[in-house]
Chain A
Amino acid sequence: MAYKRQIDRLPIIPADAKEHNVTWHYCIVGCGYKAYTWPMNKQGGTAPGENKFGVDLSEQQYQDTEAWYAPSMYNIVKQDGKDVQLVVKPDVNCVVNSGLGSIRGARMAENRPSTVTGTQQQRLSDPKVWRNGVWQPTTWDDALDLVARVTARVVTEGSEDDLVVSMFDHGGSAGGYENTWGTGKLYFESMKIKNCRIHNRPAYNSEVHSTRDMGVGELNYAYKDYGLTDTIFMVGANSMETQTNLYLNHMVPGLQNGAKMVVVDPRRTLTISASEQYAGKDNVLHLAINEGTDMALFNAILTHIVDNGWVDADFIANSTFQNGEAVAQDSAHPAGLGSLDYAMASCRTSVEEAAEICGVPAADIVKAAEWIAKPHDDGSRRKCVTAYEKGIIWGNDNYRTIGALVNIALATGNIGREGGGVCRLGGHQEGYYRPSDAHVGRPAEYIDQFLIRGLGGVHHIWACDHYKTTLNASEFKRVHKRRSDMVKDAIDAAAGGTREQVVDAIVAAINAGGLFVVDVDIIHSQIGQNAHVILPACEANEMNLTSMNGERRMRLSERYMDPFGNSRPDCLIAAGIAQNMERVLRDMGNDAYADQFKGYDWQTEEDAFMDGYNQGNPDVTYDRLRAMGNNGVQEPVVGYENGQLVGTERLYADGTFDRHGRDDKKALFCAAGWRGWQAPGKAREKAAHKFWINNVRANIFWQNQFLDQENDFIQDRFPHPFVEMNPDDMVDLGLNPGDLLEIVNDNGVTQGMAYPTPTAKRGQVAMVFGSPAGSQGNVVNPGVNELVLPDYKHCWGDIRKIADATPETRAISFKSKEVAL
């Protein structure tokens, strides 16, 4: 039986409940919510004057009402040390979501840690240190002293290159401008750490280098452009699943307004089926290309547009580089950049060639080009929004493929204009404010391989879990565990010794090839199993947090509850490490180095915000952001007038491009020459195995699956990671729905649950990414591009049955996820 909460009544929000602005923090879209808190001994009533909504709650409320909340939107949490009642519900006045809640965001309240209702008891409450063979809870002073002593010894006896750092660079969750600044100041200002990586990839790099090198920042439109456009061109993305309320609240009105939709994806996604419902099948074109062949398709579309004269000649003349090659291909640039003519020399691809490579009809490629660029009958230009995400970011030949896509938007003048834009759809929100990372270099170090090679002695990890979100994960996990176990053994052997003796033992183990691991997170993660010090962080709404969404909309998501136990904001944890580093280095007699760790006397996250973001953006303060509410302001902020922050609706509206830093402010085209499988080992792996193992996302636990592993509503639906596969393939393998299977190749093994999906092509399966119960990264080979961007999407393996369906998987629904109206 399906999980039911058996709740038949909820407390009513009283009219005088406190109200807080909240941005859903695990998604790029950043839907607006309102949090209401009130004391335990108070409650609202059904009479209009007795409740927050001013309506008669003794009557049924109807469709889309503001005056209802689900049990998942209620909890009891600590606020200023006292238990209070909490409701977090979608904000009808937020322009991002207009009152729509998602299956993730509308469970925010339920996914808060509560000592009263018992929710999210997996949250870390106290620092822990590996002692006596277990993780012993301890104080911040004790834990930070050990972190600083070991780190200081290693970076002074060796160099800062021996400190490896994995750290989020995103907004929302526990990221945001406060926390990227705190960590950034520690590692890029006080130190110059170059051996670092980001939460979802093995290096410290951009996921979209090429568009930036072309001058085009990747978040350049406004969400309203979907409602103003003629065509939505979506590539390697599935917004109905992953940016759900962007799709429902902005793309659907566009489709209902007559926009056409082109979707490039090897798989029939829910975005495609939903768009067929909303726009009519005739207005949706699905280009189900062979995996990894996107670039050839884009080049053919561009060629067809150029050859038919559907380009925006004025835009090209005024806003793009004119004189051949501007940037030569080299080790930092996997393709040359320059004028349209220059790029066409590499990109030129006929429709027929692309049809052969991509496995789609030539007529469909022509149709796509027409929908994207063919002028209207009256001669007016066609508007097109181009949106892309992991399908090409984590795909074949990242640099050139994204460049080839941006080429189309540039050639048709669809950037900086109403109904245009060429944008990442995104994952987390953004919230990056750090000192320069220029010392990291380009290409950046491949950190996973650096650690696998036995290099580095201390590993600081900030809200990253490589066990679930890295490639070549099987080998990484083996080595990381072996190296960290050496240090655990050394600590165990030094039991009873003084702090100095324990530190000596740790350093000796590091010098013998061990790795000292510090894990900062909100839960005890899988990679945290290797940690020697665990530091408990808090996240948005347990602290004030600023971030921006996929249209650069910046909001202050307000603190409405206390951090769980003794957990702290990441920025203040970074400050604590810095302060302890200063003290320890001074004790070691290294005053000059110690002085580099001054400047962290922050009491609150707002202090960190003022020390970082506000220094570069002096108009922006907490008070002003609070006044802007859930609609916030679109970055960059250009002023403050009449009590309002003044933002920027679209980038590049004046036709000048600056993301590459060029003085001429001209956009560049990318010479995206097709070269088949770019990353090492991909072609061989494809030839050796029966199934393409696509990794995909699901709206039910996109981005915060680590919390939902302790959420009964979610676990009830998917007790194991789903692997969508064609029923005929299942018959061949002797698999029934819900049977457990394993995926095997030379890189490793992972496991999941068979989910029959008639629309899946034979020989292609779609496994959910990032599951705690089955890491798809185990079977992804170490192949990356020249700039160390992983190609997670291209992985092939064989499948075999492990076991019959479990009692849990036997009970769940295996029906189609596509709506049947």
Chain B
Amino acid sequence: MKCNRLVDAGRRQFLRGGLVGAAGAAASTVLPAQQAQARSLARVEYPPNKLGNVSDLVVNEPMDIEYPDADSPGVLLKLGQAVEGGVGPDNDIVAYSVLCPHKGWMLSYNGEDKTFNCPGHHSRFDAEAGGQQVWGHATNNLPQFVLRVDDKGDIYAEGVDELIYGRLSNVL
């Protein structure tokens, strides 16, 4: 079902329909973020936060996460098909910030063509192409979280490749 009034629906409108349930169920598996703290280094130091386990993920159902801290929402996503930069046994697990790098609106995920879409001004980003902006107003592609999977299948985020909307330092 298309929702034509998302523009007015407010900032927290996110992951519509059936996806909301999946995301809600998954939320309990997210561990609390480590205390992120900036130090006097040339680049920020990213916390290695555990986002979940490979076994938690269902193909094409994004899981709500927060990285590098609770004020930076994102999703962890198993695409079902290997992509460049994908991790996990199938090289298909990716994670992105879901704040639109244009004006910070919350993106929604469209499972049909695996894109993140902005209800505010219609920018969209390709989950299968490193968050490349398919069309839109942002001047950078979607920040992607750098992931690592350990032997137990636990998935850790360890970095971000673009500046996250709303912060002038990725780690505040």
| CB interface residues, B 119-147, toward A, < 8 Å | 119-124, 126, 128-144
A819:B163 contact, CB within 8 angstroms = no
Given contacts A68-B104, A820-B112, contact A1 B85 (CB under 8 A): yes
Distance between B102 CB and nearest chain A CB, rounded to angstroms: 7
Q: Within 8 Å CB of B126, what residues of A?
A: 2, 813, 815
A106 at the interface (CB under 8 A from B): yes
A60:B72 contact, CB within 8 angstroms = yes
A10:B163 contact, CB within 8 angstroms = yes
Best-surrounded residue of B105, B123, B131, B139 (most CB of chain A within 10 A) = B139
A716 at the interface (CB under 8 A from B): yes
**Which of these binds chain B: A69-77, A411-419, A472-480?**
A69-77
The CA-CA distance from A270 to B136 in the complex, in Å, is: 11
B124:A8 contact, CB within 8 angstroms = no
B11:A63 contact, CB within 8 angstroms = yes
B43 at the interface (CB under 8 A from A): yes
The CA-CA distance from A1 to B165 in the complex, in Å, is: 20
Task: Write the chain B residue with the least CB distance to A273.
Answer: B122
Distance between A810 CB and nearest chain B CB, rounded to angstroms: 11
B115 at the interface (CB under 8 A from A): yes
**Which of these binds chain B: A190-198, A274-282, A354-362, A797-805?**
A274-282
A103 at the interface (CB under 8 A from B): yes
B72:A70 contact, CB within 8 angstroms = no
Distance between B115 CB and nearest chain A CB, rounded to angstroms: 6
Residues of A within 8 Å of B, CB-based: how many? 59
Task: Write the chain B residue with the least CB distance to A109.
Answer: B139
A8 touches which of B112, B140, B163 (Cβ 8 Å): B163
Task: Write the chain A residue with the least CB distance to B42.
Answer: A9
Q: Within 8 Å CB of A4, what residues of B?
A: 130, 140-141, 143-144, 161-162
A6:B140 contact, CB within 8 angstroms = no
B132:A819 contact, CB within 8 angstroms = no
A604 at the interface (CB under 8 A from B): no
A-B contacts, 25 of them at CB < 8 A, read A2-B142, A4-B130, A6-B161, A8-B163, A8-B171, A9-B43, A12-B168, A59-B71, A61-B104, A63-B106, A64-B104, A68-B165, A70-B138, A70-B163, A248-B121, A252-B7, A270-B122, A278-B7, A700-B135, A815-B124, A815-B134, A817-B134, A819-B117, A820-B117, A821-B4
B139:A811 contact, CB within 8 angstroms = no
Distance between B26 CB and nearest chain A CB, rounded to angstroms: 22
The CA-CA distance from A63 to B138 in the complex, in Å, is: 13
B104:A277 contact, CB within 8 angstroms = no
B52 at the interface (CB under 8 A from A): no
Q: Within 8 Å CB of B165, what residues of A?
A: 68
A2 touches which of B71, B72, B129 (Cβ 8 Å): B129
Given contacts A9-B170, A71-B140, A277-B122, contact A820 B115 (CB under 8 A): yes
Please, what's the 1-or-0 string for A782-817, where 1 marks a CB less than 8 Å from any CB in chain B?
A: 000000000000000000000000000001110111
B131 touches which of A2, A10, A280 (Cβ 8 Å): A2
B137:A102 contact, CB within 8 angstroms = yes
Given contacts A103-B139, A812-B132, contact A7 B167 (CB under 8 A): no
* Residue positions of B touching A, CB distance < 8 A: 2-4, 6-8, 11, 43-44, 71-72, 84-85, 101-106, 108, 110, 112-113, 115, 117-124, 126, 128-144, 160-163, 165-172
B129 touches which of A9, A70, A699, A811 (Cβ 8 Å): A811
A821 touches which of B3, B136, B139, B142 (Cβ 8 Å): B3
Given contacts A8-B44, A274-B122, A820-B110, contact A62 B103 (CB under 8 A): no
A244 at the interface (CB under 8 A from B): yes
B139:A107 contact, CB within 8 angstroms = yes
A615 at the interface (CB under 8 A from B): no
A101 touches which of B106, B129, B130, B139 (Cβ 8 Å): B139
A71 touches which of B44, B103, B124, B162 (Cβ 8 Å): B162
| CB interface residues, A 629-681, toward B, < 8 Å | none
Please, what's the 1-or-0 string for A67-91, where 1 marks a CB less than 8 Å from any CB in chain B?
A: 0111111000000000000000000
The CA-CA distance from A60 to B113 in the complex, in Å, is: 30
The CA-CA distance from A146 to B121 in the complex, in Å, is: 52
Distance between A427 CB and nearest chain B CB, rounded to angstroms: 19
B169:A60 contact, CB within 8 angstroms = no
Distance between B163 CB and nearest chain A CB, rounded to angstroms: 5
Task: Write the chain B residue with the least CB distance to A110.
Answer: B139
* Residue positions of A touching B, CB distance < 8 A: 1-10, 12, 57-65, 68-73, 100-103, 106-107, 110, 240, 244, 248, 252, 256, 270, 274, 276-278, 280, 699-700, 713, 716-717, 811-813, 815-821
The CA-CA distance from A57 to B169 in the complex, in Å, is: 9
A68:B166 contact, CB within 8 angstroms = yes
The CA-CA distance from A402 to B91 in the complex, in Å, is: 56
Task: Write the chain B residue with the least CB distance to A10.
Answer: B168
Distance between B67 CB and nearest chain A CB, rounded to angstroms: 12
A9:B169 contact, CB within 8 angstroms = yes
Q: Within 8 Å CB of B115, what residues of A?
A: 815, 820
Distance between A53 CB and nearest chain B CB, rounded to angstroms: 10
Given contacts A62-B11, A248-B121, contact A821 B108 (CB under 8 A): yes
Task: Write the chain B residue with the least CB distance to A279.
Answer: B4
The CA-CA distance from A8 to B172 in the complex, in Å, is: 11
Distance between B64 CB and nearest chain A CB, rounded to angstroms: 16
Given contacts A8-B43, A8-B169, A62-B166, contact A811 B161 (CB under 8 A): no
Distance between A712 CB and nearest chain B CB, rounded to angstroms: 11
Given contacts A4-B144, A58-B172, contact A106 B139 (CB under 8 A): yes
Please name the 3 residue pairs, one residue from A and one from B, whose CB atoms are nearest each other, closest first: A2-B130, A2-B132, A60-B71
B43:A816 contact, CB within 8 angstroms = no
Given contacts A61-B167, A70-B101, A819-B124, contact A103 B172 (CB under 8 A): no
Task: Write the chain A residue with the least CB distance to B99.
Answer: A63
Best-surrounded residue of A110, A274, A818 (most CB of chain B within 10 A) = A818
The CA-CA distance from A60 to B11 in the complex, in Å, is: 14
Given contacts A103-B137, A717-B133, A813-B132, contact A8 B160 (CB under 8 A): yes
Task: Write the chain B residue with the least CB distance to A13.
Answer: B168
Q: Within 8 Å CB of A8, what residues of B?
A: 43-44, 160, 163, 169-171
Best-surrounded residue of B44, B123, B136 (most CB of chain A within 10 A) = B136
Q: Within 8 Å CB of B108, what residues of A?
A: 821
Task: Write the chain B residue with the least CB distance to A108.
Answer: B139
Q: Within 8 Å CB of B172, what residues of A?
A: 58-60
Distance between B129 CB and nearest chain A CB, rounded to angstroms: 4
Q: Within 8 Å CB of B7, what residues of A?
A: 252, 256, 277-278
Distance between A701 CB and nearest chain B CB, rounded to angstroms: 12
Distance between B117 CB and nearest chain A CB, rounded to angstroms: 5
Other CB < 8 Å A-B pairs besides A8-B43, A68-B166, 12 of them?
A1-B84, A2-B126, A4-B130, A5-B140, A7-B163, A8-B163, A71-B140, A73-B139, A240-B122, A713-B140, A717-B133, A819-B135
Q: Within 8 Å CB of B170, what residues of A?
A: 8-9
B104:A62 contact, CB within 8 angstroms = yes
